[in-house]
Amino acid sequence: MLAVVCPGQGSQTPGMLSPWLELPGTADLLDTFSAAAGTDLAQHGTTSDADTIRDTAVAQPLIVASSLLALRAILDGRPTTEVVDVTAGHSVGELSAAAVSGALDDAGAVGLVSHRARAMAEAAAAAPSGMSAVVGGDPDEVLAAIEAAGLFPANVNGGGQVVAAGDPERLAALAADAPARARVIPLQVAGAFHTPFMESARMAFERVATGWLATDPRLPLLSDADGASYDTLAPGAHGYGTATDVLARLAAQVTAPVRWDLCQATLAERGVTAILELAPGGVLTGLAKRALKGVEAVAVKSPDDIEAARDLIARHSVAAGAGAPA
């Protein structure tokens, strides 16, 4: 059984779209995405420097566009329903996953995430805040230390990684007095995402998202709020959830913690045997190697990974009639 997962903010790197633009048709698709985003994604994906693409307003549409460019190159015209058994995305990656599921079309996902990105950038600029990864330690002790420091567990990623978020001085205090056997690593992000610091962004994005053009998912889509498949909320027209629930949860996600640990638990419960992480891949497959032992994983970073992705699909996709190798 094949899961397609979509990375979140922080996975971007300078020049990451350059090799993709050498593929036929990709430049035209990226032009469509740029128009939807209201920004030149080709420039940001080829020549913009690290500081420029670290800007939340740039990073989020760039990452979603990269994931969807890679998806379409891998599938080469095949519909996702014939290939993907389940999909999920980490934070902003859930908008990419919504497109994988058919709840959003590709350009619609890039356009919608641009509204999210601008709202979150404005909220981050309103008050100083930040995020730090807490790696290692006892999970309960780590969560207790984050709470005691007056911070928020913005991402609970599994595999011994929690991301704390909040006031910069409190993050510094947590680093100075880290939980036992844990390291606190500051992250290069603009604000305390997935915390109450983003409330103004949630309100602004919700006004846009609830009226956005969407359809009911056509394959299983997981929510990173709790790892639940949207079909557990309501079956929808295709049996996999409703557009209304997807849009509502995408809006609520702006201030809600990302529970990637629960998404991985759901993937394990569903019997997933392989994970394909779309570009710019690497982070989620790394987490899967620690939390989903025995599950084969391929991270797509460039067109050089397309054949490995197609091979993984051929051997594991139940939708494509393969299933796990004997």
189: pLDDT confidence band, cut at 50, 70 and 90? confident
pLDDT for 326? 42
194 labelled catalytic: yes
159: pLDDT confidence band, cut at 50, 70 and 90? confident
The residue extents of the domains of the chain are 2-125+196-316, 130-186
**2-125+196-316 under CATH 3.40.366.10, yes or no:** yes
188: pLDDT confidence band, cut at 50, 70 and 90? confident
Average pLDDT, the chain: 96
Residue 190 has pLDDT above 90, yes or no: no
Catalytic residue among 44, 90, 194, 316: 194
323: pLDDT confidence band, cut at 50, 70 and 90? low
The whole-number average pLDDT for the span 128-146 is 96
Residue 285 has pLDDT above 50, yes or no: yes
Each residue of 95-136: pLDDT tens digit?
Answer: 999 999 999 999 999 999 999 999 999 999 999 999 999 999
Quote the pTM value. 0.96
Stated length of the chain: 326
Catalytic residue among 11, 34, 91, 129: 91
> Given 1.10.600.10, 3.30.110.70, 3.30.70.250, 1.10.287.3240, which CATH number is that of 130-186?
3.30.70.250
